[in-house]
Amino acid sequence: MHFMSIIYVRLHLHKKRSEVKQPFAQVLGVSLLKPLKGVDPNLISNLETFFTLDYPKYEILLCVQDQDDPAVDVCKKLLGKYPNVDAGLFIGGKKVGINPKINNLMPGYEAAKYGLVWICDSGIRVKPDTLTDLTNQMTEKVGLVHGLPYVADRQGFAATLEQVYFGTSHPRSYISANVTGIKCVTGMSCLMRKDVLDHAGGLVAFAQYIAEDYFMAKAIADRGWKFSMATQVALQNSGSYSIGQFQSRMIRWTKLRINMVPATVLEPVSECFLASLIIGWAAHHVFRWDMMVFFMCHCLAWFIADYIQLTGVQGGPLSFSKLDFAVAWFIRESMAVQIFLSALWDPTISWRTGRYRLRCGGTAEEILDV
């Protein structure tokens, strides 16, 4: 997995392909669906990068659930600043299921006028040529283009911890799964064919799931379409972050994976310390090698491979020192088993303003306070 992901990162990511391949008359139009709730210090700067995209045919559909949400004022400010950008604001959502993101996006999805829809989270920041990169990957047999999740350079140890995770453990599994044909997609930044989604029932069909991105990708794959990964990462740049928020997010994601893919219960053996212990024990019993020496050497090799992968995903110099990396890497690896056990302990999750009880298969029910 390390070798696959490192080689893929070096060969595929951060390649300059900024020119639109098709002439203007044949350029694929894109409807950008932007789910928004609340504001953070980086929201307006993140959103503004979508208004300055260097792409000839796209629309921005800003979706806010509540009229009194402060995100409404941010949207109106940007709409006023960029009157020549094809953009609109949709407030109120439409209740079609338990998934609040789907409910929020429904009015925008129904108003989308182009054949491609780009669902992109509020904390994502883009470059002027990001949409060009996505559409260039949307070839004849491709139904979904996704970006590898990563994190922008920010201040503080919590930011370093997130960057280390999204540059090591996450892409190792994410990339190796996609390279071997396993459909692994996160919904942070996904470009999809709208007619394929409509054939699967539209967004409504996925409102019963919390992990709507997994089931949308599955529906597209089940209809014979291929996936492609963008050469640019999906750059998360939330202005609100902490170690506690990171841990809660990891626990929530693990709970979802356990309920969608039961084989997730084997996930801890893919983490460094536990894998090194198991392999060290095997080496001791088969070859009579010293177990602890093998354990330390295996952890060191893993650590070095993770650092090489992180620098590849970053695509440039890191914003923190090697010592910061070592500390963050050790803490993240030490948290892995605790996160997994916490996910097993409680089958409920808190997301946005709601609480949900997960069911086997990926569906969920909302827990209403009495």
pLDDT, tens digit (0-9, with 9 covering 90-100), for 147-171: 999 999 999 999 999 999 999 999 9
Instruction: Give the model's pLDDT for residue 367.
Output: 83
Per-residue pLDDT, 218: 94
Q: Among all residues, which ones are annotated catalytic?
A: 213
In this prediction, residues 258-286 reach a mean pLDDT of: 89
pLDDT band at 57 (very low <50, low <70, confident <90, very high): very high
Rama region for 16: left / alpha / beta (φ>0; ψ in -120 to 50; rest): beta
Place of tokens 């892409």: 171
Task: Output the average pLDDT for the chain.
Answer: 92
**What's the pLDDT at 363?**
84
Q: What is the pLDDT of residue 101?
A: 95
Please provide residue 94's backbone torsions phi and psi, each rounded to the nearest 5 degrees: -155, 120
State the alpha helices, DSSP H only, in the chain.
2-12, 43-51, 71-81, 100-111, 130-137, 157-167, 169-179, 194-199, 212-222, 243-260, 272-287, 291-314, 322-345
- The answer to whether residues 337 and 169 touch, using CB atoms and an 8 Å cutoff, is no
Choose the weakest-confidence range: 5-19, 51-65, 221-235. 5-19
Percentage of the chain lying above the pLDDT 70 cut: 97
Torsion of CA 186, 189, 192, 197, to 10 degrees: 60
Residue 304 banded pLDDT, cuts 50, 70, 90: very high
Would you give the distance in Å from CA 60 to the centre of its chain?
20
Dist. CA 96–CA 110, nearest whole Å: 13
Q: How many CB atoms lie within 10 A of CB 173?
A: 15
